[in-house]
Amino acid sequence: MFAALALSLLAVQSAAHLPADCANAAATLEINACLSDELKRERARMDHYLATARLMAERQDESTVGTPEASKQVRFLGDAQGAWEAYDKVVCKGVYDKWLGGSIRNAAALRCHIDMTRERTFVVWRDFIAPADSSEPELPDPRTTPLIPLGR
């Protein structure tokens, strides 16, 4: 609970401490603000990939209605996302706890969430969006696309 509260308070403070150039952030608040901004952008990308995956899952489910092997992709995608959210929370809570008492704890937890979100976005793309053949996917491999800046 404390870790979640600390991260939510950090997000509120982030905009005020966001430096013009995150590559040169030096103070703890600036570093945390930059990481918080990066996490927001990673989550936005994941949400975009999830929305596309849901649309594709709906199409697949609709195309198999009434067949002996009706697809349940929407349900599986939703269940997988719920399980991932719980996994992300517990893993990054453990990272925060590892650094408890240190000023690096928020940055470490944010980095954990960023890495987990980036990995999840790729898994959504690989398992629910990318075609099995050589045809063009509806979205590109997220590992090859830059993050879109959020409005500040």
Q: CA-CA-CA-CA torsion for 34, 37, 42, 45, nearest 10 degrees?
A: -140
Q: Looking at the chain, how many residues does it have?
A: 152
Query: What angle do the packed helices 105-124 and 28-63 form, to 10 degrees?
Result: 20
| Cα 89 → chain centroid | 12
- Tell me the per-residue pLDDT of 78-101, one tens digit each, with 9 for 90 and over: 999 999 999 999 999 999 999 999
CA distance linking residue 80 with residue 142, whole number of Å: 19
- Give me the chain's average pLDDT, please: 89
State residue 14's pLDDT score.
Answer: 47
- Tell me the per-residue pLDDT of 48-81, one tens digit each, with 9 for 90 and over: 999 999 999 999 999 999 998 999 999 999 999 9
CB–CB of 49/143 below 8 Å? no
Within 10 angstroms of residue 12's Cβ, the number of other Cβ atoms is 9
